[in-house]
Structure 1
Amino acid sequence: MRAAIALLTLFFAGPALAQTVVTSSAPESVAVTVYRDPDRGDGGIDANRPSGFALVTEKRRITLPAGDATIRFEGVMDGMIAVSAVVTGLPGGVIQKNRDAQLLSPAALLDGTLGNRVHLRRTNRATATVREQDAVIRSGPDNAVVLQTAEGFEGLRCSGLPEGLSYDAIPSGLSAKPTLSVTTSSPQGVTADVTLTYLATGFDWAANYVVRVAPDGRTLDLFAWLTVANGNSISLPDAQLLAVAGRLNRESDYDAIDGQPHSAYLSLRCWPLPRYDLTPDGGYPPPSPPPPAAPAPIMMRAEAMEDVVVTGSRIARQEDLGDLKLYRVPMQVDVNANGQKQVALLQRATVPFTLFYAADILAEDEDDTPRPLKRMIRMQNETKGGLGLPLPSGGVAIFAPTHAGESLLLADSRLRDHAIGETVKLDAGESSQHFLTFGRAPESTDDRPVRQLTLSNAADRAVSVEIRIRADDEDQLISKSTKLSRKDGAWLWSTSVPANGTARLRYTIASER
């Protein structure tokens, strides 16, 4: 008899054990490796919609019962790619996994309670009296929300009084946090250290450089921030942060498989009311003029930025990852939801550079309007040149000193990816003292005109200028008044323009077209 009772007890207990749900609310520790958007190029991060991705590794401690159980990993990233999720450390392995698709939101609450009873709470503005009554939701969040009360049908928040809804319970299938559920079967009750690894969209990173030109105008100090963007609604506190530089070969369509939880939009619309602000002819009055724009800042001082002093132990460490570069942040940081994080990426002092002026033109251009030359900074990315390290692409803020000892913003530029050994060129803005003018030389003929380029220098010192002249493959430059070199598929005119002086180049184009 006792054996029969025991068997019956096990028989009826089986289904109950199969329904055991174990919830892991947050990871014990987390590491995130961020990859840049390979299609972004040298542009900046889209702060509203970061389009890179990340590899997230979470360590969680979970207490499992014997037998079948469903484990809910709460607080995973919104952009989690569920098909990429790998769970290790479970004694019974993973039987199946599911991405809980719908998040808790006002729209989801309305949709899940459609046709059911809720409580409508209203406050009288004049008397502050609170009135509560039962209502039934008859139209969901996709349209104007319609309620049925004892007085009839009406739209939510169309009465003109402050009002809200309260619910007796949360509809099934809704989750307050993005959640991944897996089922497992453990041979015995155990506390296991589990690792959850997955790819997630909604991340991106970029380098942001600060260049400070020395007073002698021959060297500069280079500092770079590693800026990481997290476009998810989940924060990663005390995370180990890594970033991968280089163009990663990515063929998967992450937008199609990321499986982000659905959160419907709540639309509250009322029936149109009569307008009493129309003009006598029935039209709308003209809109009010916009407020005056805030005055633009005259200058930006470098001292307004944080005076960063970073020790070597806090600068990201560079490692090789195949042909890519991996940057490991040496301390744990908070990567907050819908925010950006900056940590020190690299730092170099007293880097020698060359200042020159440049322009890129077409060989057949005849625009005689003077155009300013670009101010350019050139460095050699070599150890003997003060650099000698990979430089990820990113924005560059260039500051230069004044005679009064201030450091002011000279240019806001961009830098492409540079490998060790390459020549680094920074666009430091247009010059107001150095110009290029096109024209025809006096000896021009109608059948083959002679073009003339004139460089003018209004400064009190000589400057170096490089003009890149682009021509079609079938065109040739003949009768050059000075020697030109060929570089990167174009003709290069390198010259020195004396202080308060000019320099000229005359050339003729011979075309076979």
Structure 2
Amino acid sequence: MGIHKIRFYSILTILFISTTVLSAQNRSVVIYQEGQVLFHDVRSVNLNRGSQEILMEGFSDTFDFGSVMVHFDGKLHDLRYSTTKPIGFWEQMDQLKGKEVYFSHHTGSSFKGTLISHTNGSILVRLEDGSHTLIPDYKTYTFNSPHFSVDKPKSGLALTLEPSKSGQQDVELTYLASGLNWGNEYVLILDENDKNASLNGWSMITNRTESDFNDLNVHLIAGSLNRASRPNRPNLQFEMALSSANRVSDSYSAKDVSAEVFGDMHLFTLPGTTSIKAGEQRRIPIIETEKVTTTKRYRYTSQDQNHEYALGGLVRIEYEVTNTEKNNLGKAIPTGVVKVYRMNGELPVLIGEDNISNVPKDGMISVTSGMAFDILIKENLISQTRISDKVYEQTSEIMIQNRKDEALEIEVERFLNPNQEIIRSGQPFESKSARNHTAKFNIPAGTDLTFQFTIRTSN
């Protein structure tokens, strides 16, 4: 029997870690009033058995790596995040040497030529006629070139994971970022009698990042979010400004935006999906009310002043709108800016604007439009009396002059310290709070009213 040589081949099993690049497929975003953003990404992945690496792209440059939570059917072995820095302005200048460039000055002059060199912030250009010009301060010019492009930073999240089974499955990521801000703008248009008004409001969503966000399911959170302090992560900045644009989402009305109570906050959900490009601002309607009842008030705050003459511009003009269903509202109204207009025939004229805080259902919207021109105030401290070592009294006199062509009601408010009280007054003061005390006066057109009040202070 012959001897057969038997060759043993060692079988080396090699585990390859493959890398699959994935972009967002289903993305929801919750935008908070303080500028924080909560992303929820769902990405469908075809996974094999064994350990493998998946590279996910499409993250904001303000991505908070420490907040990432990953959920899928399997084990997560490793998680890494990297961002490539965009090319800067002077690096672009290096690449454009010997190429055609265009410069426009803010005065209107412009020229084009070939970029020769740059040094110490100055740029040397050879013009079309062969002469040369030196630009000492490029910031006063608008620059362009057919060879110019602004590279945005690229970021990726690398996950090394081992699924429980092979096949298609969803990998869900939840993480925080910043740079998507939302605020609110309201317009209150009063009729000529200051009795009724229309009220419209929009949520303004601004993308302050260098990233485009496409096909987002957008939710807005109204309420105060407390966050712990931490060192700021590096913020990548472009040396060249990106173009920005504003868009109005007029494909749906305020009725299409759903609102619901979410714990101690309020959640607003936009219909469908929304895309927000880098540097872009979107306007979303949230309130559309043709008629609300308004209350106009005049208020003056007494502050122990001594006026030689009666002065105007001291009395605030305030408008109040009750946020009730009876007044065609009755919904959560997020903090924002209210612009107040008054109709002059067919023309609405701006008469002021004010900030409002979050107003719940059945709360009060109160805005100050400005200071009254035709209501004059003269306030003087007329006497001070020491009653004892720890008690003294002071008497003030206020004269109110109504130079309007109509009668008015004015409220005089006085803020007191806990150790003070009003012991005498020509008109009774009502306590609105422990510190705020208010007296109301009806003053006919073209007349004056004078009254005194005494405050006792106990130390």
- TM-score w.r.t. structure 1 length? 0.69
Cα offset, 1:504, TM superposition: 2.1
Q: Which residue of 2 aligns with 1:97?
A: 79
Q: Which residue of 1 aligns with 2:377?
A: 436
Structure that is richer in strand per residue: 2
Q: Which residue of 2 aligns with 1:451?
A: 396
Q: Which residue of 2 aligns with 1:461?
A: 406
Distance verdict in 2 for CA 1:408–1:376, change over 3 Å:
same
Q: Which letter does structure 2 place at the counterpart of 1:59?
A: V
For residues 214-240 of structure 1, give each alpha carbon's deviation from its aligned partner in whole angstroms, at most 9, with x where no partner exists.
Answer: 244211111111112222211211211
For residues 18-49 of structure 1, give each alpha carbon's deviation from its aligned partner in whole angstroms, at most 9, with x where no partner exists.
Answer: 2x22111x312321100121xxxxxxxxxxxx
- For residues 86 and 108 of structure 1, the distance between their equivalents in structure 2, rounded to whole angstroms, comes to 38
Q: Which residue of 1 aligns with 2:266?
A: 325
- For residues 31 and 188 of structure 1, the distance between their equivalents in structure 2, rounded to whole angstroms, comes to 27
- For residues 153 and 384 of structure 2, the distance between their equivalents in structure 1, rounded to whole angstroms, comes to 79
Match for residue 325 of structure 2 among 355, 367, 383: 383
Cα offset, 1:416, TM superposition: 1.3
Q: Which letter does structure 1 place at the counterpart of 2:440?
A: S
| Structure 1 position 27 matched with structure 2 position 31 | no
- For residues 492 and 511 of structure 1, the distance between their equivalents in structure 2, rounded to whole angstroms, comes to 18
| Structure 1 position 72 matched with structure 2 position 55 | yes
Q: Which residue of 1 aligns with 2:146?
A: none
Structure 1 counterpart SS, 2:340: strand
Q: Which residue of 2 aligns with 1:87?
A: 70
| Structure 1 position 499 matched with structure 2 position 445 | yes
CA RMSD of aligned residues (A): 3.7
- For residues 345 and 78 of structure 1, the distance between their equivalents in structure 2, rounded to whole angstroms, comes to 29
Match for residue 202 of structure 1 among 179, 182, 186: 179
- For residues 420 and 327 of structure 1, the distance between their equivalents in structure 2, rounded to whole angstroms, comes to 15
Q: Which residue of 1 aligns with 2:131?
A: none
Q: Which residue of 1 aligns with 2:36?
A: 53
Query: Is the Cα–Cα contact under 8 Å of residues 21 and 54 in structure 2 kept in the other structure?
Result: yes
Query: Is the Cα–Cα contact under 8 Å of residues 36 and 205 in structure 1 kept in the other structure?
Result: yes
Cα offset, 1:246, TM superposition: 1.0
Query: Is the Cα–Cα contact under 8 Å of residues 103 and 178 in structure 1 kept in the other structure?
Result: no
- For residues 124 and 6 of structure 2, the distance between their equivalents in structure 1, rounded to whole angstroms, comes to 69
Structure 2 counterpart SS, 1:384: helix
Q: Which letter does structure 2 place at the counterpart of 1:21?
A: T
Structure 1 counterpart SS, 2:326: helix
- The unaligned stretches of length 5 or more in structure 2 are 102-112, 127-150, 241-247, 387-392
Cα offset, 1:309, TM superposition: 10
| Structure 1 position 509 matched with structure 2 position 422 | no
- For residues 3 and 106 of structure 1, the distance between their equivalents in structure 2, rounded to whole angstroms, comes to 62
Cα offset, 1:433, TM superposition: 1.4
- TM-score w.r.t. structure 2 length? 0.77
- For residues 252 and 24 of structure 2, the distance between their equivalents in structure 1, rounded to whole angstroms, comes to 30
| Structure 1 position 365 matched with structure 2 position 348 | no
Structure that is richer in helix per residue: 1
Distance verdict in 2 for CA 1:495–1:260, change over 3 Å:
same
- For residues 71 and 83 of structure 2, the distance between their equivalents in structure 1, rounded to whole angstroms, comes to 23
Task: Map 1:382-401; keep pairs closer than 5 Å.
Answer: 382-401=324-343
Q: Which residue of 1 aligns with 2:33?
A: 36
Larger RCO: 1 or 2 (CA < 8 Å, sep 6+): 1
Task: Map 1:52-451; keep pairs closer than 5 Å.
Answer: 52-89=35-72, 91-106=73-88, 121-122=97-98, 160=124, 176-186=153-163, 190-251=167-228, 253=230, 255-256=231-232, 259=233, 311-314=253-256, 316-362=257-303, 364-369=304-309, 370-372=311-313, 373-402=315-344, 404-439=345-380, 450-451=395-396
Structure 1 counterpart SS, 2:372: strand
Q: Which letter does structure 2 place at the counterpart of 1:22?
A: T
- The unaligned stretches of length 5 or more in structure 1 are 38-51, 111-117, 132-146, 148-153, 163-173, 267-305
